[in-house]
A and B are shown apart, each in its own frame.
Chain A
Amino acid sequence: MSAKPPEGHTHPRFDLDDVIHAPVRLSIMAALAAADEADFRFLKETIEVSDSLLSKHLLALEEAGYVNATKGYEGKRPRTWLSLTDQGRAAFTNYMDVLRRIIGNP
């Protein structure tokens, strides 16, 4: 999906957002779209990935402006809360629309 689309393309798959359309990043976006906020640990357990892989993909989403990270403490334990930005929510909504166009309304 990352290949450059041919000129004058009509197939909706070319409209899929490459930032979202990757296994781990898709799961992160889906989780954050369903929950207002989720902590790092919740994402790690839900997506079943290592800390380093999750951090790498979160960084990519933050750089794209899709995810916002807030660091804080719960008692003495450091905690990172993650949420979608408005831009991220709009991108995920658009991504879902494209998916529906590809496979029809599920």
Chain B
Amino acid sequence: MELSASSAFDEIRRVEEEVRKARRHFGTTLLITGLAAAPFWWTQLLAPDWVRNAGYVVWIVGGIVLYAVPRGDRHRGQVSAAWYTRGWVALAFLVFLLPPAVGLGLKLGGVDGLDWLVALLCLVSGAPAIYAGWRFRSGR
């Protein structure tokens, strides 16, 4: 098939837009995860029981909606950035494991009065995901 220069340009622009859409979607998912991480861990580690239970339900339902429900657009494949692929384990560790690990460690060790440290970790836990989401959305 003969491909003219202008149709080659049109195809390049179309594909670039598809990639931009996918990156924006992925970035938004990371951003929401990061923004939700701090309040979630706060409810799980520092709040009263009823707030903890409510936070848990919201986190699970939100996770299903965000990650498991099929998207409106047709893409199921993924785009990524090299730095994200290399760093996702560290990101997942910060978002999902560090706050409960430290919280549980303090509880098991019988250490009191360090709620400020747990609160700080809750706050920090979402920061890498927020940063990654921002970079994906801005195409960096």
- Any A CB within 8 A of the CB of B8: yes
Alpha-carbon separation in the docked complex, A39 to B80 (Å)? 8
Taking a contact as CB atoms under 8 Å apart, the answer to whether A34 and B85 are in contact is no
Chain A residues with Cβ below 8 Å from B15 are: 27, 30-31, 34, 46-47
Per the CB 8 Å criterion, the residue count for chain B at the interface is 26
The closest CB in chain A to the CB of B75 belongs to A45
Alpha-carbon separation in the docked complex, A99 to B5 (Å)? 6
Taking a contact as CB atoms under 8 Å apart, the answer to whether B11 and A30 are in contact is yes
- Any A CB within 8 A of the CB of B52: no
CB distance from B51 to the nearest CB of A (A): 32
* Interface residue ranges of B1-43 to A (CB < 8 Å): 1-3, 5-6, 8-9, 11-12, 15-16, 18-20, 22-23
Chain A CB within 10 A, most for which of B3, B8, B20, B75? B8
Taking a contact as CB atoms under 8 Å apart, the answer to whether A41 and B5 are in contact is no
Chain B CB within 10 A, most for which of A30, A83, A99, A106? A30
Out of A21, A31, A34, A38, which one reaches B78, CB within 8 Å? Answer: A38
- Any A CB within 8 A of the CB of B77: yes
Out of A26, A42, A103, A106, which one reaches B79, CB within 8 Å? Answer: A42
- Mask: chain A, 45-84; 1 = CB below 8 Å from B; 0 = not: 1110000000000000000000000000000000001010
Q: List 22 A-B contacts (CB under 8 A).
A: A21-B3, A22-B3, A30-B11, A30-B15, A35-B19, A35-B80, A37-B81, A38-B79, A38-B80, A39-B80, A40-B77, A41-B77, A42-B78, A42-B79, A45-B74, A45-B77, A46-B19, A46-B77, A83-B82, A96-B12, A103-B5, A103-B9
- Tell me the A residues contacting B by CB distance below 8 Å: 1, 13, 21-23, 26-27, 30-31, 34-47, 81, 83, 96, 99, 102-103, 106
